[in-house]
């Protein structure tokens, strides 16, 4: 056998990028189960639509770019993008919304920028933002009421019908998200009055929101698992949640005028955003301090857009805005290297 | 032992599979004397040593065969007795598989020692003498880098607070230090004590990773047997790269070696276990560094263990005595799996710094997987012991953005390989950094070169300008002098413009002549026309007009000529008078000059004649064939001299007469 001549190191850890993607997908399972339990099989269908669209687009682009198709499909990055997008979309959004968002995510947001590792923006959120701006009606009226508020649970057949053909059945199951509801009602009603709406768990003032707290808890669980697995570090989710909490405590202590803190944390896409979207490493800041600034920035933007913006949720826009800032943040947050007294910050001095 | 000792942690680090058990189950074996030994002249950092032997020389074991060149260099000794059979380039242990100058020794299998005397009691011996002994013994850092030990020990003498013995041995597979401590703890401690005698540190720390319990036990037992309380054995947690000098210092002292600096700046010096053993042998037994302990392991080796190996033993010999299946070996690594390098020639010799040989099978160290895209997951940042941003350095290296790579402290990368180890995308990060470091080094060298060239060019330009200016000034001065002279001359010869009136007169004369001819011609034409009885009166009128004009011109010319001739006469008188007055004065000067010049010519001719005569005489003395030519030359020169003298005389006479 010819002796191999190769540069050190000669041994590597058996954890590949594909494994990283699979671990993230695995960590999303509890959240997806919770979503399905409370809102019916809509998300599962959306995942299937988004995933097949994404994989087809990925393969097509790889073919066009003359790259080995299977090798790149097997890194599961397209699949992860699709799943992230699908859980962000309303469960009963029409199929074409999902297809457009998914295709846009992969073809434009990812591959037109150079493919995996090169995209400056979170592809799933680019796709989401596109359809949210382009098709606001189906995007805001396709959430179902939590299962407990419905007389009969949504069957798979019903879900298929709503997504693929008729919007008629939709009226029977549709409901605003609690966050959106509270936000619109708070202008004209007090907290107590708002809580009369069955969307919020009765009137017990706990302000826990039917179903959503379990979904959020499930995503939180998945996120903590990933931190424990050292797939990513605590910096981004922690700073995001802390910043959002602080903002809502400063402004939102008055629940008669603002959305309460607990609802900020548990009623919307905060947890999935903090642990699965903001942590996309490609488009996030990469230095330890940079990650904290990046996460905090997203937290602040989520609060600002939710409170004073027109859209029902804010995670996508907050993440995209901070994506812009990430390369800049990285330049100014270099850690102090061993043997140096000061960290070097900023661009290299021109010689 | 170290219950009270405060340990520190270093950033990052990894926990690769240890793979140390395989080679620690059997005691250190003797690798014996191979058929040939290949001794590279450069087994250390610093200047290559100079061979002292020739092919065919017979040498004894321990005899100096190549001496150090300068301070940062090391001696080389014959590891056994035998004959020098070749000196030249052979394949050596090198990152890039290069060849290098080597001495090839064919052992006579007698293993006859030169006489060597040790220092049994070094406590009364001066540190300088001990340092000299260490230097003479050719000892270099045996942990891998091969830095000459005497340099490290002497550069810091007097200022060292802490002496650290690096027994961490953090790389997987390698167990050379482990087994050395297990079997030769007393000698290792003796080596440290010698170093302590030289350096006089306040604290001596013996850092061992906690994955070597037998070694720790052996060292502790030896210390208590010796009653040595100065040396503190510190057990540190197993984490790669705790055995990196900078990391071990951080673990044990909490201090960081300044970027680009040395541990001695912190009052710390770090030596390797194997080095301490070599120092013991050199000082106590007077034996130079001619052998070391090397681990032979890997799945292709059926009996992994450590060997006492003579320096220069080809790897092939080790593989043979251990029945290693070379056909089954896909990769032969010298050093550990994290920082070692592959060798593709099994003849490559073991050198002073070779602590391990891994004969790995395909399954054990598989070929690297296809590189995937960097997703900036940051696992490398978490693993980096130098607190760098490997993912950023990767982008900068890949895009040759050297400025940014430098700004991100690529120079502080210790190339431990932790980043590559954890990278989920199988990116050979260290290779990218080596490339960037090389490029930066080259860029700096180029810049230095171009800066020098620039200075040289600018200096040259300045010099040329200065010279030009000087020339210009001289020329101006000369021109000034000439102008003054001219002015003087003018003042003395005021009628120098005498030629002008003459020229003018000539011109006027010509004009007058031309006008006269024109009048004549016109008259002729008119008469011709009249004679032809041409009725065309207009033409005649025209001709008559032309005649009038020609006549007028002739008149003008005549007037001008007449008026021009008058002042000319006056001028003629002036010229004559000035010529008269000048004749009295000016010629005298020029005559003197002329005489002087002629005299010079005579003198020059005289010199030439003398020289020709000399040559002629010389030729005559030596009876050369060229004498005829010289004769002719001499005659010619003499004739010229006569001519010159004549010219001088004639001129002198003439000028006398003129006066």
Find the range with the poorest average confidence among B21-30, B129-138, B578-587: B578-587
Q: What is the DSSP string of B264-327?
A: GGGTEEEEEHHHHHHHHHHHHS---S-EEEEEEESTT-SS-EEEEEETT-BHHHHHHHTT--GG
Instruction: Indicate if the pLDDT at residue B79 is higher than 90.
Output: yes
Instruction: Indicate if the pLDDT at residue B594 is higher than 90.
Output: no
Rounded CA-CA distance B22/B337 in Å is 15
Q: How many Å lie between the alpha carbon of A348 and the closest alpha carbon of chain B?
A: 5
Say yes or no for a CB contact (<8 Å) between B424 and A3: no
Candidate from A4, A19, A287 with C-beta closest to B342 = A4
Find the range with the poorest average confidence among B198-207, B236-245, B370-379, B630-639: B630-639
Helix-then-strand count for chain A, H and E: 17, 0
Say yes or no for a CB contact (<8 Å) between B16 and A13: yes
Say yes or no for a CB contact (<8 Å) between B330 and A10: no
Nearest CA to A130 out of A106, A154, A150 is that of: A106
| H or E stretch at A170 | helix A170-173
**Helix residue ranges, H only, A65-122:** 69-73, 77-88, 95-103
Confidence of residue A170 (pLDDT cuts 50, 70, 90): low
Would you state the torsion angle of the CA atoms of residues B204, B209, B214, B218, taken in this order, to the nearest 10 degrees? 0
- The burial class, CB within 10 Å (0-12 / 13-18 / 19+), for B504 is middle
Q: Taking a contact as any Cβ pair under 8 Å apart, which residues of chain B between 386 and 405 contact chain A? A: 386-389, 391-392, 403-404
Confidence of residue B569 (pLDDT cuts 50, 70, 90): low
**Helix residue ranges, H only, B137-171:** 149-155
Between A327 and A185, residue with greater pLDDT: A327
Find the range with the poorest average confidence among B42-51, B296-305, B414-423: B42-51
Rounded CA-CA distance B153/B71 in Å is 12
- What does the pLDDT read at residue A350? 54
Beta bridge partners of B83: B58, B106
Q: Taking a contact as any Cβ pair under 8 Å apart, which residues of chain A between 118 and 177 contact chain B? A: 118
Half-sphere exposure of B477 (CA within 13 A, CB side): 6
Confidence of residue A238 (pLDDT cuts 50, 70, 90): very high
Rounded CA-CA distance B354/B143 in Å is 8
Between B598 and A27, residue with greater pLDDT: A27
Rounded CA-CA distance A12/A19 in Å is 14
Confidence of residue A285 (pLDDT cuts 50, 70, 90): very high
Nearest CA to A299 out of A244, A255, A250, A262 is that of: A244
Rounded CA-CA distance A25/A83 in Å is 8
Residues 6+ apart with CB under 8 A from A281: A232, B375, B376, B377, B378
Confidence of residue B204 (pLDDT cuts 50, 70, 90): very high
What tens digit of pLDDT does each residue of B520-535 get? 887 787 777 666 655 5
- What does the pLDDT read at residue B496? 47
Nearest CA to B332 out of A1, A165, A262, A246 is that of: A1
**Helix residue ranges, H only, A191-314:** 191-194, 212-228, 235-252, 261-266, 270-272, 288-308
Q: Which residue of B has its CA nearest to A227?
A: B379
CA B23 to chain centre: 45
Instruction: Indicate if the pLDDT at residue A207 is higher than 60.
Output: no
Beta bridge partners of B341: B334
Residues 6+ apart with CB under 8 A from B421: A9, A11, A12, A13, B14, B16, B338, B383
- What does the pLDDT read at residue B531? 66
Find the range with the poorest average confidence among A150-154, B205-209, B571-575, B593-597: B571-575
Confidence of residue B565 (pLDDT cuts 50, 70, 90): low
Rounded CA-CA distance A17/B373 in Å is 9
Residues 6+ apart with CB under 8 A from B21: none
CB A33, CB A218: distance < 8 Å: yes
Residues 6+ apart with CB under 8 A from B263: B245, B246, B249, B257, B269, B270
Confidence of residue A105 (pLDDT cuts 50, 70, 90): very high
Confidence of residue B306 (pLDDT cuts 50, 70, 90): very high
CA distance to A114, A124, A175, B366, per residue, from A120 (Å):
10, 12, 35, 34
Report the 10 Å Cβ neighbour count for B212. Answer: 24
- What does the pLDDT read at residue B1? 46
Q: How many Å lie between the alpha carbon of A45 and the closest alpha carbon of chain B?
A: 29
What tens digit of pLDDT does each residue of B142-182 get? 887 788 988 888 766 668 889 999 999 999 999 999 999 99
What tens digit of pLDDT does each residue of A45-89 get? 999 999 999 999 999 999 999 988 988 888 899 999 999 999 999
- What does the pLDDT read at residue B344? 86
Chain B hits for A348, CB-CB cut-off 8 Å, are 403-404, 406-407
Instruction: Indicate if the pLDDT at residue B575 is higher than 90.
Output: no
Confidence of residue A171 (pLDDT cuts 50, 70, 90): low
- What does the pLDDT read at residue B239? 94
Is B259 touching A (CB cutoff 8 A)? Answer: yes
- Token look-up 């907050």 returns A318
- What does the pLDDT read at residue B246? 94
Q: What is the DSSP string of B335-397?
A: S-TTT-EE---TTPBP-TT--EEEEE-TTTSPPPPPPPPP----HHHHH-TT---HHHHHHHH
| H or E stretch at B516 | helix B499-531
Find the range with the poorest average confidence among A13-27, B109-123, B208-222, B233-247: B109-123
CB A44, CB A37: distance < 8 Å: no
pLDDT averaged over every residue in chain A? 87
Rounded CA-CA distance B405/B402 in Å is 5
Q: Which one-letter DSSP state was computed for residue B61?
A: B
- What does the pLDDT read at residue B518? 80
Rounded CA-CA distance B379/A32 in Å is 27
- What does the pLDDT read at residue A203? 43
Chain A hits for B329, CB-CB cut-off 8 Å, are 1, 3
ipTM of the complex: 0.89
CA B501 to chain centre: 76
What tens digit of pLDDT does each residue of B327-382 get? 889 999 999 999 998 998 888 999 999 999 999 999 999 888 888 899 999 999 99
Chain A hits for B374, CB-CB cut-off 8 Å, are 117
Q: Taking a contact as any Cβ pair under 8 Å apart, which residues of chain A between 284 and 303 contact chain B? A: 284, 286-288, 291
Nearest CA to B139 out of B60, B47, B75 is that of: B75
Say yes or no for a CB contact (<8 Å) between B14 and A13: yes
**Mean pLDDT within A232-250:** 94
Is A7 touching B (CB cutoff 8 A)? Answer: yes
Confidence of residue B228 (pLDDT cuts 50, 70, 90): confident
**Mean pLDDT within B61-76:** 90
Say what percent of chain B tops pLDDT 70.
89
Chain A hits for B391, CB-CB cut-off 8 Å, are 286
- The burial class, CB within 10 Å (0-12 / 13-18 / 19+), for B489 is exposed
Which of B340, B424, B436 would you mutate first to test chain A, the one with the most A CBs within 10 A?
Answer: B424
Nearest CA to B171 out of B387, B421, B352, B434 is that of: B421
Confidence of residue B33 (pLDDT cuts 50, 70, 90): very high
- What does the pLDDT read at residue B586? 46
Q: How many Å lie between the alpha carbon of A68 and the closest alpha carbon of chain B?
A: 11
Rounded CA-CA distance B376/B429 in Å is 13
Residues 6+ apart with CB under 8 A from A5: B97, B342, B344
Q: Taking a contact as any Cβ pair under 8 Å apart, which residues of chain A between 12 and 71 contact chain B? A: 12-13, 15-17, 19-20, 71
Between A320 and B627, residue with greater pLDDT: A320
Instruction: Indicate if the pLDDT at residue B470 is higher than 50.
Output: yes
pLDDT averaged over every residue in chain B? 86
Q: Which one-letter DSSP state was computed for residue A106?
A: I
Pairing of strands B76-77, B64-67: antiparallel
- What does the pLDDT read at residue A35? 92
Rounded CA-CA distance B471/B107 in Å is 74
CB B64, CB B341: distance < 8 Å: no
Confidence of residue B117 (pLDDT cuts 50, 70, 90): confident
**Mean pLDDT within A267-287:** 93
Rounded CA-CA distance B178/B237 in Å is 15
Between B471 and B652, residue with greater pLDDT: B471
- What does the pLDDT read at residue A258? 82
- What does the pLDDT read at residue B580? 47
Is B440 touching A (CB cutoff 8 A)? Answer: no
CB B49, CB B67: distance < 8 Å: yes
- What does the pLDDT read at residue B552? 79
- What does the pLDDT read at residue B2? 46
What tens digit of pLDDT does each residue of B257-268 get? 999 888 888 899
Is B244 touching A (CB cutoff 8 A)? Answer: no
């Amino acid at each position: 056998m010819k002796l191999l001549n190769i540069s050190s190191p000669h041994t590597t850890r058996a954890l590949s990028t594909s494994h990283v993607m699979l671990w993230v997908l695995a960590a999303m399972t509890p959240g997806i189960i919770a979503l399905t339990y409370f809102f019916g099989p809509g998300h599962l269908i959306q995942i299937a639509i988004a995933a097949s669209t994404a994989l087809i687009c990925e393969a097509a682009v790889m073919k066009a770019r003359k790259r080995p198709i299977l090798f790149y499909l097997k890194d599961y990055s397209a699949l992860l993008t699709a799943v992230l997008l699908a859980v962000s979309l309303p469960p009963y959004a029409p199929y074409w919304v999902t297809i457009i968002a998914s295709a846009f995510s992969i073809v434009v947001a990812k591959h037109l920028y150079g493919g995996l590792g090169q995209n400056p923006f979170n592809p799933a959120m680019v796709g989401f933002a596109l359809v949210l701006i382009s098709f606001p009606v189906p995007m805001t009226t396709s959430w179902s009421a939590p299962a407990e508020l419905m007389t009969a649970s949504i069957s798979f057949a019903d879900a298929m019908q709503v997504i693929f053909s008729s919007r008629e059945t939709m009226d029977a199951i549709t409901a605003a998200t609690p966050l959106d509801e509270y936000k619109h009602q708070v202008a004209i009603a007090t907290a107590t009055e708002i809580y009369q709406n069955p969307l919020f768990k009765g009137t017990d003032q706990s302000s826990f929101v039917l179903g959503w707290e379990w979904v959020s808890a499930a995503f939180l669980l998945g996120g903590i698992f990933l931190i424990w697995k050292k797939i990513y570090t605590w910096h981004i989710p922690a700073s995001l949640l802390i910043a959002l909490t602080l903002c809502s405590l400063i402004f939102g202590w008055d629940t008669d005028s603002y959305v309460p803190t607990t609802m900020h944390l548990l009623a919307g896409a905060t947890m999935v955003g903090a642990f699965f979207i903001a942590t996309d490493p490609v488009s996030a800041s990469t230095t330890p301090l940079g990650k904290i600034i990046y996460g905090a920035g997203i937290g602040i933007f989520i609060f600002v857009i939710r409170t004073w913006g027109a859209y029902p949720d804010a995670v996508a826009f907050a993440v995209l805005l901070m994506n812009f800032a990430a390369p800049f943040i990285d330049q100014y947050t270099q850690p102090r290297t061993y043997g140096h007294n000061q960290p070097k910050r900023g661009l290299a001095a021109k010689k | 032992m170290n219950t009270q000792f405060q340990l520190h942690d270093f950033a990052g680090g990894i926990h690769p599979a240890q793979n140390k058990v395989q080679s620690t189950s059997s005691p250190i074996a003797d690798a014996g004397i191979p058929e040939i030994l290949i001794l590279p002249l450069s087994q250390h950092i610093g200047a290559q040593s100079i061979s002292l032997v020739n092919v065919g020389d017979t040498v004894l074991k321990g005899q100096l065969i190549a001496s150090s060149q300068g301070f940062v260099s090391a001696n080389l000794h014959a590891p056994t007795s035998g004959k020098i059979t070749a000196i030249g380039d052979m394949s050596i242990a090198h990152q890039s598989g290069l060849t290098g100058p080597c001495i090839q020794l064919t052992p006579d299998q007698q293993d006859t020692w030169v006489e060597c005397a040790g220092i049994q009691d070094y406590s009364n011996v001066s540190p300088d003498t001990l340092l000299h002994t260490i230097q003479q013994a050719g000892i270099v850092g045996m942990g891998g880098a091969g830095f000459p030990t005497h340099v490290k020990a002497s550069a810091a003498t007097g200022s060292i607070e802490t002496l650290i013995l690096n027994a961490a041995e953090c790389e997987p597979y390698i167990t050379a230090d482990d087994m050395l401590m297990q079997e030769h703890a007393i000698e290792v401690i003796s080596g440290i004590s010698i170093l302590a005698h030289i350096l006089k540190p306040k604290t001596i720390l013996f850092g061992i990773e906690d994955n070597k319990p037998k070694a720790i036990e052996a060292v502790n037992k030896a210390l208590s047997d010796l009653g040595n309380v100065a040396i503190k054995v510190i057990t540190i947690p197993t984490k790669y790269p705790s055995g990196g000098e900078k990391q071990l210092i951080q673990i044990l002292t909490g201090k960081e070696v300044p970027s680009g600096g040395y541990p001695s700046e912190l009052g710390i010096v770090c030596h390797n276990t194997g080095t301490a053993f070599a120092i013991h042998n050199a000082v106590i037994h007077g034996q130079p560094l001619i052998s070391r302990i090397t681990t032979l392991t890997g799945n292709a080796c059926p009996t992994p263990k450590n060997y006492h190996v003579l320096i220069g033993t080809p790897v092939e010999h080790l593989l043979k005595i251990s029945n290693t299946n070379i056909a089954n070996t896909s990769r032969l690594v010298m050093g550990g799996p994290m920082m070692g390098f592959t060798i593709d020639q099994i003849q490559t010799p073991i050198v002073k710094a070779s602590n391990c040989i891994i004969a790995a099978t395909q399954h054990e160290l598989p070929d690297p997987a296809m590189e995937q895209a960097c997703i900036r997951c940051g696992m490398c940042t978490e693993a980096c012991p130098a607190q760098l941003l490997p993912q950023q350095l990767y982008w900068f290296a890949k895009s040759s953005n050297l400025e940014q790579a430098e700004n991100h402290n690529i120079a502080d990368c210790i190339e431990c390989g932790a980043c590559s180890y954890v990278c989920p995308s199988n990116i050979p990060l260290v290779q990218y950094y080596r490339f960037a470091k090389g490029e930066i080094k080259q860029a700096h060298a180029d810049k230095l070169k171009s800066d020098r060239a620039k200075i040289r060019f600018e200096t040259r330009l300045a010099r040329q300008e200065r010279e030009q200016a000087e020339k210009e000034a001289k020329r101006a001065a000369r021109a000034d002098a000439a102008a003054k002279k001219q002015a003087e001359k003018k003042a003395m010869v005021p009628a120098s413009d005498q030629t002008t009136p003459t020229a003018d007169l000539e011109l006027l004369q010509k004009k007058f002549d031309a006008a006269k001819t024109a009048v004549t011609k016109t008259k002729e034409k008119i008469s011709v026309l009249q004679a032809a009885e041409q009725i065309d009166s207009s033409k005649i009128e025209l001709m008559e007009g032309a005649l009038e004009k020609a006549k007028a011109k002739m008149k003008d010319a005549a007037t001008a000529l007449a008026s021009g001739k008058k002042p000319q006469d006056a001028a003629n008188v002036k010229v004559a008078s000035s010529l008269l007055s000048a004749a009295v004065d000016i010629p005298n000067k020029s005559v003197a000059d002329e005489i002087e010049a002629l005299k010079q010519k005579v003198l020059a001719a005289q010199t030439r004649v003398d020289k020709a005569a000399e040559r002629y005489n010389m030729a005559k003395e030596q009876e050369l064939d060229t004498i005829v030519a010289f004769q002719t030359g001499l005659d010619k020169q003499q004739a010229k001299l006569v001519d010159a003298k004549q010219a001088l005389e004639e001129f002198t006479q003439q000028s006398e007469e003129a006066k």
